[in-house]
Copies of this chain bind each other. A is one copy, B any other.
Amino acid sequence: MSKGKHSGLDFLDACQARVDEELDRCIERSSASNRLQEAMRYSVLGGGKRIRPALCLGAASAVGHTGDNALVPACALELIHAYSLIHDDLPAMDDDDLRRGRPTTHIAFDEATAILAGDALQTLAFSWLTETGSFDAETRLAMVRELARASGHKGMVGGQAIDLESVGQKLTLSQLETMHRHKTGALIEASVILGALSSGSVSDAEQASLTEYAKALGLAFQVQDDLLDIEGDTEIIGKPQGSDMARDKPTYPALLGIEGAREHLDALLNHALNSLRDFGPEADPLRAMANYIVARTH
């Protein structure tokens, strides 16, 4: 099994540039002053590591496609992610003033504009999938279906609702995983699936392996996020350290201890890498991404 000759950070950097360019085209600058469009651009183009787009491009590469096709779903995934962050940050939700070291959208604009910008970014994700790039109708439809499945009340939004209800609750490890499988896992899984689908030729076996990789990676991402919340530095992670703990949100370190959480993270990384055992070097970007995600410092 190749451990991946790519550096995850190099791959991420290369993806970032391509994705940011596509996102810039996606929400055009408005000629007249258009507060809504400005808020959409502010939220989408204000940095962001573009992890989901990179996983999407990585999955396309794993099934042998390295062209620009996967940029279309990559962009749609980032639009969904950006909308969820805007709404998550709202006063009625997490009430965060800071995101990626900048004022959150409702602070930089206003609450009503932030709600609408989130709404419009969700719609744009589906528009983008139906109107951009060159795919046959079946492929486009499969991508829309997967993206909707991952982001709705049985996926990401459902996870956010569980998250809200679990503040101050004692969760079991299994309940915590259920929450994260929905809240962040579903979209990470969709990132990999959409990338593979965009190639127009993915076998059932490939799709199953990639899904397994994504499921493990989605949880690993969250464990690392929880560890960073305890160990990280505000300036680097862009939000106050310990903010999840302070809000009495259930976390992996709270359940497993810091060492236990680190071991869990290692096991998830191994599982993710092992899921790619039947792929050759074309899956190195995905391997590198897995290594990057568990080692990242912000």
Contacts and interface: CB of A to CB of B under 8 A. Distances in A.
Contacts of A115: 87, 90, 92-93, 115
A148 B126 contact: yes
A153 interface: yes
Interface string A109-125: 01111011011101110
A87 B83 CA distance: 14
Given A93-B112, A111-B92, A153-B40, A145 B118 contact: no
A205 interface: no
A120 B148 CA distance: 9
A161 B122 contact: no
Interface in A35-86: 35-37, 40, 83
A297 to B, nearest CB: 30
Nearest to A137: B137
A234 interface: no
A213 to B, nearest CB: 24
A134 interface: no
Contact of A127 (B83, B110, B145, B160): B145
Interface residues of A, number: 44
A99 interface: no
Name, among A90, A116, A131, A152, the residue most crowded by chain B CB atoms within 10 Å (CB to CB): A116
Given A122-B123, A124-B153, A116 B148 contact: no
A145 B130 contact: yes
Contacts of A164: 112-113, 116
Given A36-B158, A116-B161, A144-B130, A153 B90 contact: no
Contacts of A36: 153, 157-158, 161
Interface of A: 34-37, 40, 83, 87, 90, 92-93, 110-113, 115-116, 118-120, 122-124, 126-127, 130-131, 136-138, 140-141, 144-145, 148-149, 151-153, 157-158, 160-161, 164-165
